[in-house]
């Protein structure tokens, strides 16, 4: 059996899978907001409950943050775990190996291990949600890079042609990482809404903006067109650098069906002449992908 733990700032989910990744058991609990010992105790209790239900399994865990070279974590969403060696401590308490990775990498890995997508040697996972993240999977394995930051696409800077798309009077944004004009602040759900508010003076949530766009409201149509142009310009750099066989898009904005034909129409002009677009798909596992991807960390040995 394979256990995948998706640990977030508000909830922890454990899902148990068989070798074919068929889900067998699942439970969610609130993420303890207290100290590290309380967090560890909650994780141990979840695993023990899964053991009682399905008879035991190998443990993988996805976390919203980075695993540093020394094994310690940085996670703004789960501060109790920051600075700690979570997987080592959990392995000691459970008496079994524990594998760990960034939650965005787990998202990409879950998609790459879809029955149909497994035929793709390289998968680029892109999350367009509250922030922008992603992961790289080559031959079924996550590529994390030397510092564990490979796939942190949201913290690339805007490409030079973004200014022409956005307009030079668009205010710059200082990112939470300390840099200026990271693409996360433009391509995320928050960025989508901020750009609409800047253009129209009306703060609206993304679903309401798209409802207006579908109704043919000129300002909303112009906004979506600009967003699609910007997304294509930013993705063009990634596709030229990585040349993946498959691009999978997740997060809240992945539910905007208009994004897919818009990218197919716009991306070719941002690629090298003669390059073909990768296959572009909406993520298939939604909220379940984090736990599923964490379970996949143990599949290749």
CATH, range 2-109+287-297: 3.30.420.40
Compute the CA torsion angle 257, 263, 265, 267 (nearest 10 deg). -170
Q: Does domain 119-283 have CATH number 3.90.1150.10?
A: no
Q: Do domains 2-109+287-297 and 119-283 have the same CATH topology?
A: yes
Query: pLDDT per position in the chain (301 positions), as tens?
Result: 999 999 988 899 999 999 999 999 999 999 998 799 999 999 999 999 999 999 999 999 999 888 888 889 988 788 899 899 999 999 999 999 999 999 999 999 999 999 999 999 999 999 999 889 899 999 999 998 888 889 889 899 999 888 889 988 889 999 888 899 999 999 999 999 999 999 999 999 999 999 999 999 999 999 999 999 999 999 999 999 999 999 999 999 999 999 999 999 999 999 999 999 999 999 999 878 899 999 999 987 7
Q: What's the whole-model pTM score?
A: 0.91
Q: Give yes or no for a contact between 105 and 143, defined as CB atoms under 8 angstroms apart.
A: no
DSSP string covering 126-180, please? EEESSSEEEEEEETTEE---TTS-TT-GGGSBPPTTHHHHH-TTSPP-B-TTS-B
Sequence ranges of the domains in the chain? 2-109+287-297, 119-283
- d(CA 271, CA 285) in angstroms, rounded, equals 29
């Amino acid at each position: 059996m394979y256990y995948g733990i998706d640990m977030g700032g508000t909830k922890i989910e454990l899902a148990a899978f068989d070798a074919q990744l068929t889900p067998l058991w699942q439970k969610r609990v609130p993420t303890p907001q207290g100290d590290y010992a309380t967090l560890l105790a909650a994780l141990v209790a979840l695993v023990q409950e899964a053991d009682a239900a399905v008879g035991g399994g190998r443990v993988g865990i996805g976390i919203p943050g980075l695993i540093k070279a020394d094994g310690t974590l940085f996670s703004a969403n789960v501060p109790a775990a920051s600075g700690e060696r979570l997987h080592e401590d959990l392995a000691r308490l459970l008496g079994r190996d524990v594998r760990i990775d960034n939650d965005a990498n787990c998202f990409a890995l879950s998609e790459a291990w879809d029955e149909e997508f497994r035929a793709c040697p390289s998968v680029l996972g892109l999350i367009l949600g509250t922030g922008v993240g992603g992961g790289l999977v080559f031959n079924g394995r996550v590529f994390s890079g030397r510092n564990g930051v490979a796939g942190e696409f949201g913290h690339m800077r805007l490409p030079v042609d973004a200014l022409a798309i956005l307009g030079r009077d668009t205010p710059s944004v200082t990112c939470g990482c300390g840099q200026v004009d990271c693409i996360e602040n433009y391509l995320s759900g928050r960025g989508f809404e901020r750009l609409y508010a800047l253009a129209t003076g009306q703060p609206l949530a993304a679903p309401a903006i798209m409802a207006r766009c579908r109704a043919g409201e000129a300002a909303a149509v112009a906004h979506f067109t600009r967003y699609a142009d910007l997304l294509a310009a930013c993705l063009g750099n990634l596709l030229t650098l990585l040349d993946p066989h498959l691009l999978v898009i997740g997060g809240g904005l992945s539910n905007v069906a208009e994004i897919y034909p818009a990218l197919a129409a716009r991306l070719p002009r941002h690629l090298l002449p003669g390059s073909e677009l990768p296959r572009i798909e909406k993520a298939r596992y939604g909220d379940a992908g984090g736990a599923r991807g964490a379970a996949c960390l143990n599949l290749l040995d």
